[in-house]
Amino acid sequence: MGKYLLIETRDPFDSGDVRKTYDLARGLAEESHDVTVFLVQNGVLPTRKASAAADDVAELSASTTVLADGFSLRERGIQKGELVKGVKTASIDDLVDLVAEDGRKVIWH
- Coil, strand, or helix at residue 64? coil
Class of the CATH domain delimited by 3-108: alpha beta
In contact, 14 and 42? CB cutoff 8 Å: yes
pLDDT at 96 over 90: yes
d(CA 47, CA 57): 6
pLDDT digits 0-9 by tens, 6-61: 999 999 988 889 999 999 999 999 999 999 999 999 999 999 999 889 999 999 99
- The pLDDT score that the predictor gives to residue 76 is 97
In contact, 70 and 80? CB cutoff 8 Å: no
Give me the DSSP letters along 1-30.
Answer: --EEEEEE-S-TTT-THHHHHHHHHHHHHH
**Domain spans, the chain:** 3-108
